[in-house]
Amino acid sequence: MEILYTPWRYEYMSTVDEREGCIFCEKAGADNDRENLIVARDKLCFAILNLYPYSSGHVMVAPYTHLPSIEDLDEETIACMMSLAKRCMAAIRDAFSPEGFNLGINIQRCAGAGIVDHVHMHVVPRWAGDSNFMSVVGDTRILPVTLDEVWLSLSERLNLGTDPLS
């Protein structure tokens, strides 16, 4: 079995316990969605770009409520998260034409949660061959679109009437 290492992930994970407050609560409570990378807001949750994306268009959907697991959320909030994830997938598909998606919720640190106390869902667009040696060997992630370009494209589709599901 071949083992691949992800040094960028360790760098991020090793500083999680040093942070004060909750990044999701802070970003959701702020006024500047563009600066905070929030691409959409719904009644009970919001979608935010991942600052360290696995691929261009990687978003996270989080409830406004600060709870650690989907087990703690009411049905309406879970439904809102799934609905917004679906809208994000459609917007990402329209903007970037990915060949597939990974959706995931990491609950607790041993499952890979970088932010343990605020549950969130990852929506990760995928393309054939998007995983390559550069991340592991070169400690470099290759992303063809800047975060600001992704924010503009997705926020337009999700908020200005060009939402593919609206």
As annotated, the active-site residues are: 120
For residues 55 and 129, the answer to whether their CB atoms sit within 8 Å is no
Residue pair 102/124 in contact by the 8 Å Cβ criterion: yes
Distance from chain centroid for Cα 117: 16
End-to-end CA distance of the chain: 46
Q: In this structure, what DSSP letter does residue 120 have?
A: -
CA–CA gap between residue 69 and residue 117 (Å, rounded): 8
- Name residue, tokens 């978003």: 59
